[in-house]
Structure 1
Amino acid sequence: MTEDLTAAASSGTPPTAASATASTPAAPAPRPVVPRPARAGRTETARFAATHTLPAFVRGAFSARPKVVAAYAALGQQGWSAATLRAMRARHGGAPVEVRGLSGRLLVLLDPADLRQFYELPVRTLALDAPDKYKGLSLLEPTGVICSHGDTREERRRINDEVLAASRPVHPSCREFQAVLDEEAPALARDAELDFARLRRTVARIVRRMVLGDAAAGDEELARWLLVLREEANWMRLRKGRAAAAEAVYARAAARVEEYAARAEPHTLTALARSHPAAAGPEAAALDPVGQAHHWLLALESLDQLVARTLLLLAAHPAEQEAARAEVDAGAPELPRLRACVQEALRLYPLVPDLVRVTREETEWRGVRYPAGTAVLVPALFHQRDPEQVPAAHRFVPARWLEAEAAEDIRMAPFSHGGGRCPGEHLGVSTAAGLIAAVLRGHRVTGGRPALDPSLALPGILASAGIRLTLAPR
């Protein structure tokens, strides 16, 4: 074939199409298009840190600092964060955005299309113990589920789920817990004004009785120890000289919890943990079922914020308050409408505004592969109040939670979804609803501060410490 081309060239006769085609090397096959990761630039990273991650750290991940939260509420900090996240989503076409931070690689999920994968990945692949969260919680609950790994984590989670009755809408101890509410709740309505300080003390007593038993109700010393640990956890071991002191406080608190657990009433969470079959097995000491009590106390005591915000929202929405009170008066089982009010308050003001996980193996997001050890962030508050995805995103609309499959809507995840879903969801919502019902049985919430205008978009932050509620006898 080479000779044909040479001859044709020397004679001045062009080669035939057939000969030319046959002699030309085959064109290389097109290379597959490999998606490139969306990476935040320096300016974008700085803006994300200034408006989202730094405020979250300053606010406190495990114990909110009231003055900081009040300042953020006045400045509209949540609006800054939402604007940053919307801009990132628009610039990168909704793709997961890789942000480089002090703690390493962080993948931020900004489009609902990626949320389903986040919730569906197994916990062994997308683990809950992200480095920063682990650093903090290891001071609070070193033998807790979140600080555990592998088979030990799975067994501790199984015990935890069964103690909290995660799969049941009504806890087996509901009658005993309701009796505790009936005894403690009258303190909430003894005056014409209910402030957050009284609500916080009442909720703390109730929670200690539910978790540790009646003997722990007034243990303010234990409460102070736990507060010290939560504040230290906020620093995520950055204050190197404080770790040893915090561990000593934890040892005292853990010993006190064990004392209460040993004589707690059978219906309490620690008694249920001690009586679990795994607690009598050969690995009981390693599993430490009662070690999860620190997390139960931390999570359930945060109900004071939820109750305060829900009551304030009901004060601003009299029709919703009237419907909830009618349900309470009728003795409706499980109080579905009031529970919907609690869930809507959580959508608007989640107790955990960001969900952070860390990959234990290589994962792929929209065709881009990321190595093990990548932290993945779902800004849950942003998604739950995203006007582009959620109807009436900044309004109080409890009815949305009465629709079929509402609890499985991945756009809204006040308790997360999948393997990382909070096992105390039903217990927490029912306890909050029970407390609110106790107030509504004998009183109307006629006003509150800060004042909310139902005709306007609700504020991004409600500083619970500043909430004051006006009660009028019915």
Structure 2
Amino acid sequence: MVSHANSDRNPAPEVPSASLLDGLRALTRVLMPVAAGGAIVRRPRMMLLSQKAGLDKRAVRTMQHLRDRYGPGPVQVRMPWRRFTFLLEPDQVHRVLNESPEPFSPSTREKRGALGHFQPEGVLISSPEERTVRRPFNEQVLQPQRRPHEHGQRMHEVVAEEMNALLDHARLSGTLDWPVFATAWHRMVRRVVLGDTARRDHAVTDDLLRLRKDANWSFLKPARTRRRQRFLERLADYVERAEPGSLAQMVARTPGPEGTAKHHQIPQWLFAFDAAAWATYRALALLATHDGHAGTAREEVEAAGAGADFPYLRACILESLRLWPTTPAILRDTTQATTWAGGMLPAGASIIVFAPYFHRDHARISRAHRFTPDLWLRARTDEDWPLVPFSGGPAMCPGRNVVLHTAGAALAQLVSAEEFTLVDPPLSPRRALPGGISPFHLRFRLSGP
């Protein structure tokens, strides 16, 4: 990062701006579909509409057009209320992620407006001073460098119990749909995060869902302070119980300096597990329609011991996240002026990494629209085209290993116990995979192991 002071007489040129027409295209084809689909809670009807209309592919094409017209970028899109800066090349993405949180802060204006509805003291929207205590606390509890987590064996047991209960229910009708899967998933997550007594505590996740729906509107909707307080107090109660094997127990026993706001970090973990549900369910759809990969997954499960980490199934989930990112727009705000090849960005600039563009650009990835889990089984470097399902750099999601461990265990339990046939909508290994697919509308037929 290079920052330069300039005299009023000879100011540094700014990063180029898109034309009015290209700016409108970027707004309507890239940003608006993300907002309409629900940035914090997905709207099932809008996701189905986006899938049928091919809006995700159109957004990627729009980003490719910006690159073709304006070169390597970055490029600014000026709106009356905000200026957005789109990154177009991998080195720009690596720079922004590796130089977070300073001078590229994850605590953006948009995030503060949205996440403040349910995690006002969460690490993602913390000041630099607060972040210095909250980020290390999150890492101590979630153990991103440890694989599996200290509680990995207990997590595996919980996953097996809940997925077996799910299968028992699904076998009665011979089908598996999203409502059945989501109910089992949330029971599993509540037990992993809060403890076994939270299994039937639908109220805690219902409160979070209501608050997250408000968060879709960011600053435009007043905060439900009473509901938020009730939700946070319920989380504090679980931390006080510190049930063995839960993340709440880890929160209780992990020291936190003043300002850590320990139980205020939990909402983000529950939020992340929601996105993991979509990724896991979509990964099941990919395995159900790609026989060779399904066979490899079953062989891994059969060969592994109890509590295994299942590297291939982790790769399948990561590939699901590459194909259909659950966080399509990674946001940063500049905390000071920064200099780029094309010019200068002032402090307070909004930077956008549009993940689908980097994940699905066929000009850079040979099998961009195919199911290719092997992408995740080889060593990767910063020179690679950026694949960022959990962001990257110092601000990378600290819960990625917990999420991948539990999601991989859930997928292992399902594929080893049953043969799934995707009923609707159809996917085929002989065709390019769609740019977007709604998990809420996937349905499977069970036909036995």
TM-score range, shorter chain: over 0.9
Of 321, 329, 353, 1:354 maps to 329
Of 423, 426, 446, 1:448 maps to 423
Letter in 2 for 1:157: R
Residue 415 of structure 1 corresponds to 390
Of 351, 362, 365, 1:387 maps to 362
Of 89, 100, 117, 1:111 maps to 89
Mapped partners of 2:204, 2:109: distance in 1 = 27
- The superposition leaves residues 2-52 of structure 1 with CA deviations (integer Å, 9 ceiling, x where unpaired) of xxxxxxxxxxxxxxxxxxxxxxxxxxxxxx997663211111111111111
Once the 2 structures are TM-superposed, how far is the Cα of residue 102 of structure 1 from its aligned partner?
4.7
Q: Are positions 1:53 and 2:31 aligned together?
A: yes
Residue 196 of structure 2 corresponds to 214
Mapped partners of 2:310, 2:440: distance in 1 = 27
Q: Are 2:50 and 2:436, in contact at CA under 8 Å, matched by a contact in 1? A: yes
Residue 67 of structure 1 corresponds to 45
Q: Are positions 1:471 and 2:446 aligned together?
A: yes
Aligned in 2, Cα 1:41/1:165: closer, same or farther, shift over 3 Å?
same
Residue 21 of structure 2 corresponds to 43
Residue 61 of structure 2 corresponds to 83
Q: Which moved more, 1:398-407 or 1:293-302?
A: 398-407
Q: Are 2:242 and 2:252, in contact at CA under 8 Å, matched by a contact in 1? A: no
Once the 2 structures are TM-superposed, how far is the Cα of residue 405 of structure 1 from its aligned partner?
2.4
Once the 2 structures are TM-superposed, how far is the Cα of residue 257 of structure 1 from its aligned partner?
1.1
Mapped partners of 2:310, 2:382: distance in 1 = 16
Residue 180 of structure 2 corresponds to 198
Residue 5 of structure 2 corresponds to none
Q: Are 2:74 and 2:342, in contact at CA under 8 Å, matched by a contact in 1? A: no
- The superposition leaves residues 358-396 of structure 1 with CA deviations (integer Å, 9 ceiling, x where unpaired) of 011111121512111001111111101101111200000
Q: Are 1:324 and 1:338, in contact at CA under 8 Å, matched by a contact in 2? A: yes
Which structure is larger by alpha-carbon Rg, 1 or 2?
Answer: 1
Residue 299 of structure 1 corresponds to 272
Mapped partners of 1:223, 1:146: distance in 2 = 20
Unaligned runs of 5+ in 2: 1-9
Residue 287 of structure 1 corresponds to 260
Alignment of 1:230-249 (within 5 A): 230-239=212-221, 242-243=222-223, 246-249=224-227
Mapped partners of 2:181, 2:440: distance in 1 = 10
CA-atom RMSD in angstroms: 1.8
Q: Are positions 1:156 and 2:134 aligned together?
A: yes
Residue 427 of structure 1 corresponds to 402
Residue 145 of structure 1 corresponds to 123
Mapped partners of 2:286, 2:100: distance in 1 = 36
Letter in 1 for 2:391: S
Unaligned runs of 5+ in 1: 1-31
Mapped partners of 1:317, 1:86: distance in 2 = 29
Residue 7 of structure 2 corresponds to none
Aligned in 2, Cα 1:127/1:328: closer, same or farther, shift over 3 Å?
same
Q: Are positions 1:174 and 2:146 aligned together?
A: no
Residue 303 of structure 2 corresponds to 330
Of 433, 436, 439, 2:414 maps to 439
Q: Give the TM-score normalised by structure 2.
A: 0.93
Once the 2 structures are TM-superposed, how far is the Cα of residue 181 of structure 1 from its aligned partner?
1.0
Mapped partners of 1:34, 1:58: distance in 2 = 37
Q: Are 2:117 and 2:228, in contact at CA under 8 Å, matched by a contact in 1? A: yes
Letter in 2 for 1:462: I
Q: Are positions 1:397 and 2:397 aligned together?
A: no
Seq. identity, %? 32
Q: Are 2:358 and 2:385, in contact at CA under 8 Å, matched by a contact in 1? A: no
Q: Give the TM-score normalised by structure 1.
A: 0.88
Aligned in 2, Cα 1:159/1:135: closer, same or farther, shift over 3 Å?
same
Q: Are 2:283 and 2:316, in contact at CA under 8 Å, matched by a contact in 1? A: yes
Letter in 1 for 2:196: D
Q: Are 1:362 and 1:369, in contact at CA under 8 Å, matched by a contact in 2? A: yes
Q: Are 1:408 and 1:417, in contact at CA under 8 Å, matched by a contact in 2? A: no
Q: Are 1:134 and 1:147, in contact at CA under 8 Å, matched by a contact in 2? A: yes
Mapped partners of 1:140, 1:428: distance in 2 = 20
Once the 2 structures are TM-superposed, how far is the Cα of residue 65 of structure 1 from its aligned partner?
0.5
Mapped partners of 2:414, 2:355: distance in 1 = 30
Aligned in 2, Cα 1:453/1:275: closer, same or farther, shift over 3 Å?
same
Once the 2 structures are TM-superposed, how far is the Cα of residue 454 of structure 1 from its aligned partner?
1.0
- The superposition leaves residues 223-282 of structure 1 with CA deviations (integer Å, 9 ceiling, x where unpaired) of 22111100000000213xx33xx121101111111112211313211221121122xx5x
Q: Are 1:447 and 1:471, in contact at CA under 8 Å, matched by a contact in 2? A: no
Residue 341 of structure 1 corresponds to 316
Q: Are 1:213 and 1:261, in contact at CA under 8 Å, matched by a contact in 2? A: no
Mapped partners of 2:126, 2:147: distance in 1 = 27
Letter in 2 for 1:193: T
Alignment of 1:359-374 (within 5 A): 359-374=334-349
